Amino acid sequence: MLARKRTLAALFVISAAAIAAAGCGGGGSKSSDTSTQPTTSSGITAPSNIKSAGKIVFCSDITYPPEEYYQGTKPVGSDIDIGTDVAKKMGVTAQFDNTGFDAIIAALLAKKCDAIISGMNDTAERRKQVAFVDYINVGQSFMIQKGNPKNISDIASLAGKSASVEVGTTNKDFLDQQSQKLKSQGKAGIKVVTFPKDTDAANALKTGRVDSYFGDSPVVAYYLSKDPSSFEVAKKPEVVNPIPVGIAIRKDETELKAALQKAVDALYADGTMKKILARWDMSAAAMKK
């Protein structure tokens, strides 16, 4: 799946070091331009401000493999590839600004970027603030320690146990809801433990600080592929709560929304999206077009 294999622990170190250097989370960011030159063969016209700049700037929390993460100082992942090819369809290049997920919508609304591509679920709550162009459909999974020492088989078995998630995510919202359901049934709730970076949330499970980790299914699959001796996936069910994932934009950016929709449709039509998702073992996330 990756050009270079490395352990999950090494990934955590690299991600943390890169993000620390970037100073992200809250205010700081790190910009990364793609090297691919723009093309106008698709006939899709970018809004004038993006066209004149020659680039579209994406806010992205680059701590969420395989969707976005660092190899050294280079951002890679399915979202990076998709954002790059979306930009190409619009005749511009893509720039990815590393932005903490809990502040990413605020950064977009403050016009620190043109759009968000960061494994962001398209939810009714978020649509109160931003508009979406959906490009994949992703469920979530529970990751547990190898051998299942805590006997976690399903959501009900998490009563009185802990689960780690990245802060500001729909994953946290879902666990909070499930915890309330358990409490309403007279059971103990789930202790939801949040982390600013998803890699830290997964590492908390590896080091035994939590009983489980909850994240997007492709992300869980990635962690499992990198460290199969430490992790496995809970089986009942393997995938829960499927939600569309979209590129987020400001609500008044109707021209940009139309261009992005055409670009995403073109990536599906010419097979590019299929190739990208296959490259990152995410073929099951493809939308039906």
Average pLDDT over residues 27-48: 60
User: What crossing angle do the helices spanning 8-22 and 198-206 adopt, rounded to 10°?
Assistant: 140
Q: Which pLDDT belongs to residue 154?
A: 87
Query: Residue 223 pLDDT > 70, yes or no?
Result: yes
* % the chain with pLDDT above 90: 79
Is 33 inside a domain boundary? yes
The answer to whether residues 53 and 92 touch, using CB atoms and an 8 Å cutoff, is yes
Q: Grade residue 32 by pLDDT with cuts at 50, 70 and 90.
A: low
Query: Residue 31 pLDDT > 90, yes or no?
Result: no
The answer to whether residues 115 and 257 touch, using CB atoms and an 8 Å cutoff, is no
Average pLDDT over residues 73-82: 98
Q: Say yes or no: 50 and 114 in one domain.
A: yes
Is 2 inside a domain boundary? no
* Least confident piece of the model among 21-25, 193-197, 244-248: 21-25
Range of the domain at 37: 8-137+245-285
Q: Which pLDDT belongs to residue 276?
A: 98
Is 3 inside a domain boundary? no
Q: What is the dihedral of CA 7, 12, 13, 19, to 10 degrees?
A: 140
Is 1 inside a domain boundary? no
CA separation, residue 18 to residues 70, 102, 282 (Å):
7, 18, 25
Q: Which pLDDT belongs to residue 63?
A: 94
Burial class of residue 267 in the structure, from the number of CB atoms within 10 Å of its CB (0-12 exposed, 13-18 middle, 19+ buried): buried
162's CB contacts (< 8 A; 6+ apart) are: 190, 191, 192, 193, 210, 211, 212
The chain-wide mean pLDDT, for the chain, equals: 87
Is 89 inside a domain boundary? yes
> Residue 66: how many CB atoms within 10 A of its CB?
25
Average pLDDT over residues 259-278: 98
The domain that holds 77 is classified in CATH as 3.40.190.10
* Least confident piece of the model among 73-87, 155-169, 203-217, 228-242: 228-242
Average pLDDT over residues 67-71: 97
Q: Say yes or no: 22 and 111 in one domain.
A: yes
Is 51 inside a domain boundary? yes
Q: Which pLDDT belongs to residue 235?
A: 79
Q: Which pLDDT belongs to residue 236?
A: 65
* Least confident piece of the model among 38-47, 94-103, 115-124: 38-47
Q: Say yes or no: 177 and 263 in one domain.
A: no
Query: Residue 1 pLDDT > 70, yes or no?
Result: no
Q: Say yes or no: 276 and 152 in one domain.
A: no
Q: Say yes or no: 110 and 183 in one domain.
A: no
**Coil, helix or strand at residue 75:** strand
Q: Say yes or no: 218 and 117 in one domain.
A: no
Q: Say yes or no: 114 and 164 in one domain.
A: no
Condensed to tens digits (0 to 9), the pLDDT of residues 157-167 reads 999 999 999 99
Q: Say yes or no: 145 and 253 in one domain.
A: no
Q: Say yes or no: 271 and 207 in one domain.
A: no
What's the total number of domains in the chain? 2
What value does the CA radius of gyration of the chain take, rounded to a whole number of Å? 19
Q: Say yes or no: 68 and 190 in one domain.
A: no
Query: Residue 18 pLDDT > 60, yes or no?
Result: no
Q: Which pLDDT belongs to residue 237?
A: 63
Taking the C-alpha atoms of residue 280 and residue 136, their distance in angstroms, rounded to an integer, is 13
Is 94 inside a domain boundary? yes
Indicate the pTM of the whole model: 0.80
- Single residue among 241, 257, 273 that ends a domain in this structure: 241
Average pLDDT over residues 86-110: 97
Q: Say yes or no: 112 and 147 in one domain.
A: no
Q: Say yes or no: 115 and 153 in one domain.
A: no
